[in-house]
């Protein structure tokens, strides 16, 4: 257990909880550093295949930057808070993580909190979740990937409508816009996030990593033919020579569940 977060391991699944409920799980540099270290360990551990990130309490996933700390630091030193190289929450600038991460959004996801969720592969939302990039309302801008990820996830005019006004979007509207994967009653949130994690864990982790890497890297290639022909992705190559790629067809032929090795 860290000072600003908790971690629970369940087989191949890791659950990370931002644990600052007294400030709506807002993150300051120390919390971001701690989360970055936890996701460093997740990335490096071959026995961890999927992660869920959520917030402590019933009110907030993460309210973003700890503005009180931000203001006090500026008044005291004139400096702005610095995020770790891996970004806000240890995730928003982590571009080399091929393992899937699920955001279980239990309440307010504002600013950097929404940016953490957008950096995840799935967003499972409580029906009481609320999303926004409100930085312009406090003289800031969403500098941890929200300005880039949201327009890549929903239509541009809808994204601009959120970003230029800082307006709040409900979980149901987020589902309609397309950045939320599923919405469930609040009490069922973690069960639903774990259900999605288990569905991923039914698949070969080698295939899951190859899929995530190929999808995200191919988004950089505008020409679809070039994106399809350029399958020189390291995770795809690793899958092709893995034990899992032998085990999968063998288990299918033998009418049994595959025993994935993740190598």
Write the pLDDT tens digit of every residue in 25-83. 999 999 999 999 999 999 999 999 999 999 999 999 999 988 787 777 666 776 776 78
> Which tokens hold the place of 251?
């288990």
When pLDDT is averaged across residues 220-246 and rounded to a whole number, the result is 87
Characterize 61-77 residue by residue with b for buried, 16 or more Cβ atoms within 10 angstroms of its Cβ, and e for exposed: bbbbbbbebbeebeeee
Residue 229: the pLDDT is: 80
Residue 67: the pLDDT is: 78
Higher-scoring residue by pLDDT: 242, 140:
242
Residue 73: the pLDDT is: 67
**Among candidate residues 163, 7, 175, the one with its CA nearest the CA of residue 90:** 7
Return the residue matching tokens 């959520």.
Answer: 54
Determine whether 115 is an active site residue: yes
Higher-scoring residue by pLDDT: 205, 138:
205
pTM (predicted TM-score): 0.95
The rounded mean pLDDT for the chain is: 94
Higher-scoring residue by pLDDT: 83, 100:
100
Determine whether 192 is an active site residue: no
Q: Pinpoint the alpha helices (H) of the chain.
A: 29-44, 67-77, 112-119, 146-153, 156-163, 171-177, 189-201, 205-218, 224-229, 234-240, 244-253
> Which tokens hold the place of 36?
């970055």
> Which tokens hold the place of 153?
């996830």
> Which tokens hold the place of 74?
């500026």
Cα gap 191→158, rounded to integer Å? 30
CA 205 to chain centre: 17
- Marked catalytic residue, from 33, 135, 173, 192: 135
Residue 14: the pLDDT is: 98
User: Residue 231: pLDDT above 70?
Assistant: no
Percentage with pLDDT > 90 across the chain:
84
User: Residue 119: pLDDT above 80?
Assistant: yes
- Marked catalytic residue, from 38, 115, 198, 202: 115
């Amino acid at each position: 257990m860290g000072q600003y977060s908790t971690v629970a391991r369940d087989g191949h699944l890791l659950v990370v909880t931002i644990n600052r409920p007294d400030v709506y799980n807002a993150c300051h540099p120390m919390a971001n550093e701690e989360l970055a270290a936890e996701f460093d360990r997740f990335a490096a551990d071959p026995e961890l295949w999927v992660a869920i990130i959520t917030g402590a309490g019933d009110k907030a996933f993460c309210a973003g930057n700890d503005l009180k700390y931000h203001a006090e630091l500026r008044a005291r030193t004139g400096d702005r808070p610095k995020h770790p190289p891996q970004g806000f929450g240890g995730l928003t600038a982590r571009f080399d993580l091929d393992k899937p991460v699920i955001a279980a959004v239990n309440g307010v996801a504002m600013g950097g909190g929404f940016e953490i969720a957008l950096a995840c592969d799935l967003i499972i939302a409580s029906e009481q979740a609320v999303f926004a990039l409100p930085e312009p309302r406090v003289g800031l801008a969403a500098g941890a990937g929200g300005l880039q990820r949201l327009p890549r996830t929903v239509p541009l005019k809808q994204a601009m409508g959120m970003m230029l006004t800082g307006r709040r979007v409900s979980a149901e509207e987020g589902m309609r816009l397309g950045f939320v994967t599923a919405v469930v009653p609040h009490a069922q949130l973690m069960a639903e996030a774990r259900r999605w994690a288990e569905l991923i864990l039914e698949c070969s982790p080698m295939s899951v990593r190859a899929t995530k890497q190929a999808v995200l890297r191919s988004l950089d290639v505008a020409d679809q033919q070039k994106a399809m022909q350029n399958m020189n992705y390291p995770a795809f190559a690793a899958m092709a020579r893995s034990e899992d790629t032998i085990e999968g067809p063998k288990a299918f032929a033998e009418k049994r569940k595959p025993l994935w090795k993740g190598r």
